[in-house]
Amino acid sequence: MSYGFYISFSGIVTFKKADDLRAIVRTVPLDRILVETDSPYLAPIPHRGKTNEPSYVVHTARAVAELKEISPQKLAEVTTDNFFRLFERVRAA
């Protein structure tokens, strides 16, 4: 974190045996979190074993929000802000 890195979490965070990863989510500051699909691989629960797709990111975001004890809406706002801060050449609509 001291180097300014961002940490992006994929559907793995929803897997039953991903306790270590969930512990990491709890420690990463909100201003350094992103979520991703990792499509076409590693679909989150409840789609595990299927081909992953971008629409499934909602399950990953919901899991991360729960771990951070914030609403999914708040996580969406935070990760959107983080995206535009990280990729500053992209303009917000």
User: 40 by DSSP, 3-state: which?
Assistant: coil
Phi, psi of 80 (to 5 degrees): -65, -45
Q: Bigger pLDDT: 4 or 91?
A: 4
pLDDT at 90: 81
Q: Which residues contact 4 (CB under 8 A, 6 or more apart)?
A: none
Which pLDDT tens digit goes with each residue over 6-57? 999 999 999 999 999 999 999 999 999 999 999 999 999 999 999 999 999 9
Structure-derived torsion over alpha carbons of residues 12, 17, 19, 20, reported in degrees to the nearest 10: -80
Class of residue 66 by CB neighbours under 10 A (exposed 0-12, middle 13-18, buried 19+) = middle
